[in-house]
Structure 1
Amino acid sequence: MRPAAPGPSMTLSVEDLPPLFRVSDQTAISHQSESFRAVRRQLTVLLAATTVAMLGQGLDSHVPAILAAVLYGLTIAIGLHIARRRARAQWQAHRAVAELLKSLAWQYMVHGGVFHSQAPNPDALFAERLEERLREMRKVGWVDLRNGPAARGAGQITPRMRAVRAKTIEVRRDLYLRERLLEQQAWYRRRAAQSHRASVQWSSVTAVLTFLALLAAVLRAAGMLGAWDLTGVLSASAAAGVAWQEVRRHRPLTYAHSLVEQDLETLRVEMSTTVTEDRWALAVAEAERLVSPQHSDWLGRFGG
């Protein structure tokens, strides 16, 4: 029985996208969480070691010094574990594959890019483009999680994807503008706001810690803190805050996501009003370029 094709009032779910997208998306999320947890743990242990070392100096005791040495050793061990696990690299590789699958699926469905209406064999073209890009991803450590030849190439094209491709330009246009561009606009707007709030919060925290470190240095120089040297702990805390911001890339992502959201709004208006059918494929290709992770990374370089 032929699956029902979605009309303008219907939506696509994640189940309608290529199976490899769903697997890669979940794997990327898992490795991303692991990467952030590992860095957070390393910074926390390092701060604890610095604090204990400071206590050892103030109390004139060997016990805190020994504990500090153990914590510094644990910090090194965590760093080696992070390097061995390569969670960040795996996160980025699987995220790149997930976004590749999603982009190719949308272009295939709505006759975008090289999958335009005159393409002689879109299924074979989809398989060729997909496997070509995946071969490149294997070179950087991506692990193929597909089982059997049936899941390769055109096996990633779902029945719903073929049903959408068979619809008229009006239906495909409505679906793409509503389900792809509007959804991506909302995502970039939300992420830009989240990154901005986090950037302001962490910048405030590091500024306060830096001021307190300065104050502690002045008080110690005036002989008002005795044997207690808080400057090192406060300085290390401020440095950890800066390091965490660099890991999460709050400021660059705020800049990049805001620009992408604005460009998508402009393109969405054009595609819904002035873009004709003969220019539709190029417009879709441009939209997919805007939402690609590579484009956001490029923009982020200028927002740091």
Structure 2
Amino acid sequence: MFRSNDQWALNRQSEAFRATMTQLTLLLVATVFATLADHFGSHVLTAVSALLYGLTVATGVVVRRRRARAHWQAHRDAAETVKSLAWQYMVHGGPFHSKVRDPDGLFNQQLEEHLRGLRRIGWKEPSPERGLAVGVGTGSAYTLWNPASRHEPDDPRHPQITRAMRAVREKPFAVRKDIYLRDRVLDQLSWYGGRAVQARRSAALWSTLTALLTLLALTAAVLRSAGLVSGWDLSGLLAASAATGVAWLETRRHHPLSFAHALVREGLETQRAVLTASVAEDRWPQAVTDTEHLMLPQHTDWLARFGG
């Protein structure tokens, strides 16, 4: 379930971004043709511009019907839910503590409860794709989703529980703790740190570009109003270009995501220190729950609201 939902989330994410880029490009090119039509007084260029604006409207209708962004977020939530539950099951975290009588049955119950809400909004479980290896930890000896036989389910009643998950769950507390810290927490620390840096750089690039285009639009408008420039009126085209940059920056959410990912990384670093130094076995389940909460997509989205 993780493999298939992760792949569908990536596909839908790419589709959503491509659709937005297509709309913005059509609008910008239509503005270019409108500027050319105004300068040359061409009815042909005006017709091309109108056609491009019409294509933009049609593209928007298709995008709304396909709901790629909504499907992307639903599949991402499903994938991360399965991954989080799998880690909690393996290391005796959260409700899967050492004293639970039927951890396999509890896993199915917890998974169904989490997915029930997603089904209400139209999420459907995609068909798993054989041979697709998506790891939960880079270089991990206990990577969950590997096509090798030891990582396949061994009980048809619990299709999401693999042999590797059972093998880790059977290990002593010290070994499980080491696996969780190394292959889950450190891996996610690296991921969130890298994404925060990447988002910060992209935000700086697009912010600089839009500011430059806005300044050029202002300059063109002032020069034309002062009568220093005649002929071409580029202020509208430059303003449209700046608006396109702003729209793309908001679509990709570089600013809020860089803020959110940095905060998640800080929280994980603090939690890693706590898990390493002072968590005894009796407090381990709650500590794992607190750590997993930091990595939920919903938590990142909540933080991103304050980073915009």
Q: Report the TM-score, using the length of structure 1 for normalisation.
A: 0.91
Using the TM superposition, give the Cα deviation of residue 223 of structure 1 relative to its aligned residue in structure 2, in angstroms.
Answer: 2.3
Instruction: Quote the Cα distance in structure 1 between the aligned partners of 2:218 and 2:127.
Output: 56
Matching residue of 2:219: 215
Specify whether residues 221 and 289 from structure 1 end up closer, same or farther in structure 2 by C-alpha distance, changes over 3 A only: same
Specify whether residues 197 and 132 from structure 1 end up closer, same or farther in structure 2 by C-alpha distance, changes over 3 A only: same
Matched position secondary structure for 2:159: helix
Q: Residue 97 in 1 paired to residue 101 in 2?
A: no
Matched position secondary structure for 2:279: coil
Q: Which residues of structure 2 form unaligned runs of 5+? A: 129-153
* Cα contact 1:46–1:71 (8 A) shared by 2: yes
* Cα contact 2:5–2:125 (8 A) shared by 1: no
Pairing partner for 2:168 from 164, 167, 187: 164
Alignment of 1:82-93 (within 5 A): 82-93=63-74
Q: Residue 246 in 1 paired to residue 250 in 2?
A: yes
Structure with the largest fraction of helix: 1
Higher mean displacement: 239-248 or 224-233: 224-233
Matched position secondary structure for 1:285: helix
Pairing partner for 2:261 from 239, 257, 262: 257
Q: Residue 283 in 1 paired to residue 287 in 2?
A: yes
Using the TM superposition, give the Cα deviation of residue 153 of structure 1 relative to its aligned residue in structure 2, in angstroms.
Answer: 6.8
Q: Residue 27 in 1 paired to residue 8 in 2?
A: yes
* Cα contact 1:45–1:74 (8 A) shared by 2: yes
Q: Which 4+ runs in 1 deviate beyond 3 A?
A: 150-153
Specify whether residues 146 and 66 from structure 1 end up closer, same or farther in structure 2 by C-alpha distance, changes over 3 A only: closer
Using the TM superposition, give the Cα deviation of residue 227 of structure 1 relative to its aligned residue in structure 2, in angstroms.
Answer: 3.3
Instruction: Quote the Cα distance in structure 2 between the aligned partners of 1:227 and 1:80.
Output: 37
Instruction: Quote the Cα distance in structure 2 between the aligned partners of 1:159 and 1:39.
Output: 42
Matching residue of 1:42: 23
* Cα contact 1:128–1:153 (8 A) shared by 2: no
Would you say how many aligned residue pairs link Structure 1 and Structure 2? Answer: 283
Q: Which amino acid aligns with 1:236?
A: A
Q: Which amino acid aligns with 2:63?
A: I
Alignment of 1:41-120 (within 5 A): 41-120=22-101
Instruction: Quote the Cα distance in structure 2 between the aligned partners of 1:246 and 1:285.
Output: 32
Matching residue of 2:179: 175
Using the TM superposition, give the Cα deviation of residue 151 of structure 1 relative to its aligned residue in structure 2, in angstroms.
Answer: 9.6
Using the TM superposition, give the Cα deviation of residue 152 of structure 1 relative to its aligned residue in structure 2, in angstroms.
Answer: 8.4
Question: What is the root-mean-square deviation of aligned Cα atoms in Å?
Answer: 1.4
Q: Which amino acid aligns with 1:48?
A: V
* Cα contact 2:195–2:258 (8 A) shared by 1: yes
Matching residue of 1:131: 112
Using the TM superposition, give the Cα deviation of residue 226 of structure 1 relative to its aligned residue in structure 2, in angstroms.
Answer: 2.1
Q: Which residues of structure 1 form unaligned runs of 5+? A: 1-19
Q: Report the TM-score, using the length of structure 2 for normalisation.
A: 0.90
Q: Which amino acid aligns with 1:104?
A: L
